[in-house]
Amino acid sequence: MTSITGLEGRVALITGASGSLGSAAVRVFTDARATICSCDLVGDVEIRVDVTDPEQAAAAVGRAVRDHGKIDILLNVVGTWAPQPPVGEIDDATVDTLMAVNFTSVLNMSRAALPHMTGNGWGRIVNVGAKQALKNTAGNSAYGAAKAAVIALTESIAEESGDQGVTCNAVVPSVMDTPANRDGMPDSDFSSWVKPEHVAEAMAFLCTEAGGNINGATIPVWNRA
């Protein structure tokens, strides 16, 4: 059970809720006594939505407000990665998918949720970056660019909404210990990877009253990987 407290009465909308980090966030925020509104394209979630589509994203936010009365917290967890060839060889479909899922989804959900948060005078948005957003590597051009855009968007929201009671921050995990990552990198040292629950707990702290003192930050959640 998480040690995070102070989220009683808060409504948390979590995208990518059926994935490894999203499901960890659901558990952590449930333990912290927040009311959960889970969103994803698959899995056992409250709202089925393609968050890369602005109309679907706006509709999901509207339904969450109707069902729960408000949105206090938005966790933009949904994301994806795919192998990327060198920049001179990368195809449009790969670029479009990585930008849409990793960046456009965050933009769509944030701009739909922000009017509700600023109207209530309180809100927390937490996005998910990646190490490649800060120092990119070969074979990650579109992914790194998308995650760098998430960091830039985070900083803009923080500057625009901080005086209205809304904070926006980004957590930046290193390699997370998930089944997919273990399957994809079977020879790695799994003990050096970050557990999704630890990333989710960092996200939860940012959503507390104490976490309200942090705004526009890019917070590494790294182990040795």
Measured distance CA(112)–CA(123) in Å, rounded: 13
Flag whether 5 is in a domain.
Answer: no
Q: What is the DSSP string of 101-147?
A: IIIIHHHHHHHHHHHHHHHHT-EEEEEE--HHHHS--TT-HHHHHHH
- Report how many domains make up the chain: 1
In a domain, 44, yes or no: yes
Residue 87 maps to a domain: yes
Band the pLDDT of 105: cuts 50, 70, 90.
very high
Q: Which domain holds residue 45?
A: 11-221
Helix (H, G, I), strand (E, B) or coil at 14: strand
pLDDT digits (tens, 9 = 90+) for 144-199: 999 999 999 999 999 999 999 999 999 999 877 777 777 777 878 778 888 989 99
**Cβ proximity of 144 and 191 under 8 Å:** no
- For residue 165, tell me if it sits in a domain: yes
Examine residue 199 and state whether it is found in any structural domain, yes or no: yes
Run of H or E residues at 88: none
Q: What value does the mean pLDDT of the chain take? A: 93
% of the chain residues with pLDDT over 70: 98
Element spanning 73, H or E: strand 73-76
Res. 11: pLDDT tops 60: yes
pLDDT tens digits for range 21-34: 999 999 999 999 99
CATH at 138: 3.40.50.720
Question: Would 3 be classed as within a structural domain?
Answer: no
Q: Give a yes or no: residue 4 inside a domain.
A: no
Q: How many residues can be counted in the chain?
A: 225
CA atoms within 13 A on the CB side of 104: 16
Is 149 among the domain residues?
yes
At residue 167, φ and ψ (nearest 5 deg) are -110, 155
43 by Cβ neighbours in 10 Å (0-12 / 13-18 / 19+) ranks as middle
pLDDT of amino acid 193: 81
Stretch 7-25: mean pLDDT: 96
